[in-house]
Each structure stands twice: as structure tokens, then as C-alpha cells.
């Protein structure tokens, strides 16, 4: 794509492999019966969404989750199950990002939360010796810091303004179509990662 100077990556399904079923299974293992059904309930779903925009701190999330479900577990058990959906960073994707960073400004824009961000940055350091995504990219933007979630257009506007990016010079990659369309709506160029493709195929010509 001509004129691109900046590349903004999503995290899950783009830079990192994830699987929500792993978290449901992990909660079942530590004793929460019907875990998937609990997460589909409005109260728990709302709690999780609010956690992703920074309404609650981790301790408040755990407390409210226990209150809603009546499930008793330690903080360590909760975090183990909560983080189980985060699988790994494929090495070839990390290498590709490092290559792209030599030519473009690189960023992350992720719907995430404090517990997950701590864990995936620890994993990045453990397996690649990279302290955090802020050391891999020019800047990492997380929904729990910005106060909005994709596909809300406000999160894109806030990220673009804070990073002083021209949307027309900025490419966004995400695995959810609604997020891609929201990015395009604010003037960004975007690629929908789908049909088994990865950033390796999507950015082959970059």
C-alpha cells in the first residue's frame, strides 16, 4: 500500500494465538461448573467488558466475579484460569514485526486488561528476551488505559491523536471485521486477518 508510514496491530489472533475455550476449561478444572455459561450471562459479560475499559482494578474484578458466581478460589487460581486463553507468540510473527519496525512506525491497539497485559508481556520476555510489547513496538495502546474498546471509533481517534498519526498513512490489522470497519470509518487503511491468514501473508509485500 502506497503512503503507509505506520502499522497498528491487534494482539489476539494477529500477533498472539488465543483460544477462549481454554479459559472456560481452566475455570471448570478449578471448580467452576458451567463456566462457559457463566461467561455468557449478562452480569459476567458486562463485568468483563468494564474491566477491559479500566472501570475495575484486578482485585475488584476478582471480588465481583466471586460475588456473582458464588465461586471461591484464590487470586492465583483465578489468574491461572483467566490467562489460559493466551497461548503463545509465534516466533515468525515476532521476527516479522521486528523487520517491519526497521521501515515503519509500529503500534499495538488491543482490547485487553491489566491481568492479561501483565501475563503476555511476561511471556514475551520469557520466550524472546523482549521486556514488553513497548520494547518490540513504538507504543502499545490497551483498552483498559484508553477507556474505550474496539469497535468504538473513539478508541481509534484517541490512539491516533495521542500518537500523532495521520490516519491516511496508518494501516490497521485485526481479526474482527467490525474493528476493521471502525478503523476505516476514521480514515485509517485496514486489513482483516481472516480465513487462516496471518500477518505473514497480509504484509507479504511490505
Give tens-digit pLDDT for 99-155.
999 999 999 999 999 999 999 999 999 999 999 999 999 999 999 999 999 999 999
134 in any annotated domain: yes
pLDDT (mean) for 183-202? 93
1 in any annotated domain: no
110 in any annotated domain: yes
Residues 93 and 184 in one domain: yes
Q: Quick check: 205 pLDDT over 90?
A: no
If DSSP codes are grouped into helix, strand and coil, which group holds residue 131? coil
Residues 125 and 149 in one domain: yes
> Taking Cα atoms as reference points, which of 127, 174, 151 lies closest to residue 12?
174
To the nearest 10°, the Cα dihedral for 6, 10, 15, 17? -170
Per-residue confidence (pLDDT) for residue 55, from 0 to 100? 99
Per-residue confidence (pLDDT) for residue 1, from 0 to 100? 65
Residues 98 and 139 in one domain: yes
Exposed, middle or buried by CB within 10 Å (0-12, 13-18, 19+), for 56?
buried
70 in any annotated domain: yes
Q: What is the pTM of this model?
A: 0.96
138 in any annotated domain: yes
Amino acid at each position: 500500500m502506497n503512503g503507509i508510514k505506520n502499522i497498528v496491530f491487534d494482539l489476539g489472533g494477529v500477533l498472539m494465538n488465543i483460544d477462549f475455550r481454554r479459559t472456560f476449561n481452566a475455570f471448570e478444572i478449578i471448580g467452576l461448573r458451567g463456566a462457559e455459561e457463566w461467561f455468557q450471562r449478562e452480569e459476567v459479560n458486562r463485568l468483563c467488558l468494564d474491566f477491559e475499559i479500566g472501570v475495575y482494578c484486578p482485585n475488584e474484578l476478582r471480588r465481583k466475579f466471586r460475588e456473582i458466581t458464588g465461586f471461591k478460589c484464590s487470586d492465583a487460581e483465578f489468574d491461572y484460569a483467566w490467562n489460559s486463553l493466551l497461548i503463545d507468540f509465534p516466533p515468525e510473527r515476532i521476527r516479522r514485526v521486528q523487520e517491519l519496525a526497521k521501515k515503519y512506525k509500529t503500534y499495538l491497539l488491543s482490547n485487553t486488561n491489566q491481568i492479561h497485559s501483565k501475563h503476555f508481556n511476561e511471556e514475551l520476555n520469557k520466550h524472546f528476551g523482549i521486556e514488553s510489547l513497548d520494547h518490540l513496538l513504538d507504543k502499545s495502546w490497551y483498552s483498559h488505559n484508553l477507556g474505550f474498546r474496539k469497535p468504538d471509533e473513539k478508541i481509534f481517534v484517541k490512539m491516533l491523536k495521542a500518537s500523532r498519526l495521520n490516519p491516511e498513512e496508518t494501516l490497521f490489522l485485526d481479526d474482527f471485521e467490525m474493528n476493521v470497519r471502525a478503523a476505516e470509518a476514521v480514515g485509517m487503511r485496514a486489513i482483516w486477518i481472516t480465513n487462516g491468514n496471518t500477518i505473514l501473508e497480509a504484509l507479504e509485500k511490505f
